[in-house]
Amino acid sequence: MIELTDLTKIYGHGDERTVVLDRINFRVDAGEILAVVGPSGAGKSTLAQCVNLLTAPTSGSVVVNGDDLTTLSSRELRVARRRIGTVFQSSGLFERRTAAENVALPLEYLGVTPVETRARVAELLDRVGLTERANHYPFQLSGGQRQRVGVARALALRPSVLLSDEATAGLDPTTTESVVALLRELRDDLSLSIVFITHEMDTVLKIADSVARLDRGSIVESGRLVELLTDPDSSLGAELRPQGVAASAATGQQVWHVVYDAPDVPADWIARASADLGAPLSVLGASVQQIGGVTIGAATLGIPERFDSRAAEVLARYGLATNTEGRIDPALEGVA
């Protein structure tokens, strides 16, 4: 478990003073992945450095498994920091060391015996699916394999928290997918708390249990992924939602977007809502996706104009939330 309370980071003094992180609060339980999203310059990397205490926060606390790391002496901190493993974008591998030697590094620093180190490294490389690549040098590995070595090394000291700062940035979609799958597997098998920092919204959808959006040093929106996706008023949810087909309505129709938690909605909702409304709803686009173990449906509907004032109420009967933002005709704002 990791919990941040009012974590603040200020660089400089007086006129030069910059508040890079302003009272950040979140908690990630064991076996959970929190994605922290935000544009470049939002403070994501500063957050990562404060979380693993590479940079001292100006104020606030970072509690890992009950201990506040910000109150420890530098000696205690050296030990406590082992609870947090970190993976970076470029994986930070030593080019003159093989994959196995890179993974062994943290163990060597700790003075673990060579015999124990060899056994642990073999176990870690197996864990990330790279047994075959143990003696390869970084330049002989693909981008995804290098990240896996980085993950194995981050896990060497059996941390309970894994911190990832843009670990999938610059990877192609298939490689990103495999790194994401590995992290999810580790979350489950090792009950890790994972803080996954990224600027890529589509990766968030694949990995997160919950999401926090960082903007200019503050968390401006956060929540469980599934709740954000199904909340028609969440702007973060709207950005995260798989984009539906760009739809154009026939004349006399309004275009609405609906999102829903599929198990809560009857399969024949379109027919039933059309019957209740007394007019056919046309489906201009639809998708159903497995996200975080939940089936999220999204549909773009053409609503006959004459029925628009009743449509939101009828759709709500079937557990469908309509998105006022998605109503393309501004005249319809506020109808629901």
In the complex, what is the shortest distance from the CB of residue 10 to ligand ADP, in angstroms, rounded to a whole number? 9
Would residue 33 be called left, alpha or beta, if left means φ above 0 and alpha means ψ between -120 and 50 degrees? Answer: beta
Closer to ligand ADP at the Cβ: 43 or 326? 43
Closer to Mg ion at the Cβ: 44 or 327? 44
Closer to Mg ion at the Cβ: 47 or 301? 47
DSSP letter (8 states) at residue 140 = G
- DSSP calls for 265-290: S-TTHHHHHHHHHTSPPEEEEEEEEE
Closer to Mg ion at the Cβ: 123 or 215? 215
In the complex, what is the shortest distance from the CB of residue 48 to Mg ion, in angstroms, rounded to a whole number? 7
Give the one entry of Mg ion, ligand ADP, none that residue 204 binds, where binding means its C-beta sits below a cut-off of 5 to 8 angstroms depending on kind: none
Task: Say whether residue 176 binds ligand ADP (CB under 6 A).
Answer: no
Distance CA 150, CA 144 (A): 10
In the complex, what is the shortest distance from the CB of residue 49 to ligand ADP, in angstroms, rounded to a whole number? 8
Contact segment (CB under 6 A) with ligand ADP among 33-41, 96-104, 229-237, 305-313 equals 33-41
Closer to ligand ADP at the Cβ: 48 or 151? 48
Near ligand ADP by CB under 6 A: residue from 4, 20, 35, 270: 20
Strands 294-304 and 253-261: antiparallel
Closer to ligand ADP at the Cβ: 48 or 258? 48
Contact segment (CB under 6 A) with ligand ADP among 35-43, 60-68, 72-80, 223-231 equals 35-43
Name the residue with tokens 């628009």. 308
Contacts of residue 209, defined as CB under 8 A and 6 or more positions apart, other chains included, come to 32, 33, 34, 224, 225, 292
Instruction: Name the residue whose CB lies closest to Mg ion.
Output: 45
Give the one entry of Mg ion, ligand ADP, none that residue 247 binds, where binding means its C-beta sits below a cut-off of 5 to 8 angstroms depending on kind: none
Give the one entry of ligand ADP, Mg ion, none that residue 46 binds, where binding means its C-beta sits below a cut-off of 5 to 8 angstroms depending on kind: ligand ADP
Give the one entry of Mg ion, ligand ADP, none that residue 336 binds, where binding means its C-beta sits below a cut-off of 5 to 8 angstroms depending on kind: none
Task: Say whether residue 11 binds ligand ADP (CB under 6 A).
Answer: yes
Distance CA 176, CA 26 (A): 25
In the complex, what is the shortest distance from the CB of residue 214 to Mg ion, in angstroms, rounded to a whole number? 10
Contacts of residue 127, defined as CB under 8 A and 6 or more positions apart, other chains included, come to 152, 155, 186
Task: Say whether residue 18 binds ligand ADP (CB under 6 A).
Answer: yes
In the complex, what is the shortest distance from the CB of residue 74 to Mg ion, in angstroms, rounded to a whole number? 25
CB of 212 within 8 A of CB of 222? yes
The residues that touch Mg ion, with contacts defined as CB under 5 A, are 44-45
In the complex, what is the shortest distance from the CB of residue 141 to ligand ADP, in angstroms, rounded to a whole number? 25
Contacts of residue 252, defined as CB under 8 A and 6 or more positions apart, other chains included, come to 304, 305, 306
Rounded to the nearest angstrom, the gap between the alpha carbon of residue 264 and the centroid of all alpha carbons in its chain is: 25
Contacts of residue 86, defined as CB under 8 A and 6 or more positions apart, other chains included, come to 48, 52, 154, 162, 163, 164, 165
Binding mask 38-77 toward ligand ADP (x if CB under 6 A, else -) reads x-xxxxxxx-------------------------------
Closer to Mg ion at the Cβ: 7 or 303? 7
Contacts of residue 75, defined as CB under 8 A and 6 or more positions apart, other chains included, come to none
321-322, strands of its sheet edge to edge = 282-291, 294-304, 253-261, 321-322
Distance CA 324, CA 336 (A): 8
CB of 31 within 8 A of CB of 187? yes
Give the one entry of ligand ADP, Mg ion, none that residue 42 binds, where binding means its C-beta sits below a cut-off of 5 to 8 angstroms depending on kind: ligand ADP
Question: Which residue ranges make up the site for ligand ADP (CB under 6 A)?
Answer: 11, 18, 20, 38, 40-46
